[in-house]
Structure 1
């Protein structure tokens, strides 16, 4: 179970780092730039811990799928970026795919 917590925290760290890329303004602003570097470092370290027992394909699918949705949500909340109906449908399909992989598939490694 701990490895799933590591994966969840890795995703959060990656989302914070990716969202900070916009605020870093091309790495010209110090604080957001530091958040990017530290966030990615933490994210990859925690991902490496999660991969001790979670298959890499499963972990990466969850990482990428949830990361896409959470970064889009952060863009909407923090940077006033718009999502149209098809964007929401696409993200719902991504979340559905993560659910199928994690809950219904035997490839999930749990």
Structure 2
């Protein structure tokens, strides 16, 4: 169940971050409300996830998968370029998460 909360936290964070540009610096009410609600849901779900997943692993997955998803959303919907440097950076982040998961609890 902890991983269900974790992936829900990731989804809510990605949604909130995707809405960030539409808030126009938190000057538009409804995009700001939805953005903040997304972050609140994300943190609440993350706090439940760490009951069953190590904090370091949960945070690494949350941040890495969220970052990769935001880069993809930026490219697909916001016209942001995908560069070799971005791909390399995301690859290094994912490699770090894999390394943390392979490290085990001992």
TM norm. shorter chain > 0.5 = yes
State the TM-score, normalizing by the size of structure 1: 0.87
Give every structure 1 segment of 4 or more consecutive aligned residues whose post-TM-superposition deviation is greater than 3 Å: none
State the TM-score, normalizing by the size of structure 2: 0.90
Tell me which residue corresponds to 1:41.
40
Deviation of the 1:28 alpha carbon: 2.0
Matched positions, count = 106
Deviation of the 1:99 alpha carbon: 2.4
Q: For 1:1-20, list aligned pairs within 5 A.
A: 2-20=1-19
Which runs of 5 or more structure 2 residues have no equivalent in the other structure? none
Which runs of 5 or more structure 1 residues have no equivalent in the other structure? none
Kindly report the root-mean-square deviation, in angstroms, between the aligned alpha carbons of the 2 structures.
1.6
Deviation of the 1:15 alpha carbon: 0.8
Tell me which residue corresponds to 1:65.
64
SS in 2 for 1:53: coil
Tell me which residue corresponds to 1:105.
103
